[in-house]
Amino acid sequence: MKVKVENYGSAEKIDSEDKNMSFVTYKVSGLDSSSLNFLKENLEGETTIKDDSLYVKIFYDEEMAPFHSDEAKTKIDDFIAREEIEMAVFLSSFLEDM
């Protein structure tokens, strides 16, 4: 399985909540179709399958966003790599329940 951060940033207010949100879109590839479908059906967030890859868009409170800190802004490549590793580990453990 390969996880790649495809996009991230600030989002409009979601579901009429009064707080600003951030998002991260992950591309998950290298899985069979049953694993992709299991993740699509069981993960929270916006999920779509396109070209044998799963795209997961997760929303975070602005304060909890993975790339919110000043340090993340200066070392963004390191923070993106860490986020990809953490999501791969999370998804691997999630797939164990399949």
Q: What is the pTM of this model?
A: 0.85
Distance (Å, whole) CA 30 – CA 20: 33
Per-domain residue ranges of the chain: 2-95
Q: Is residue 34's pLDDT more than 60? A: yes
Contacts (Cβ under 8 Å, ≥6 apart) of 83: 5, 24, 66, 67
CATH code linked to domain 2-95: 3.30.780.30
pLDDT at 40 over 90: yes
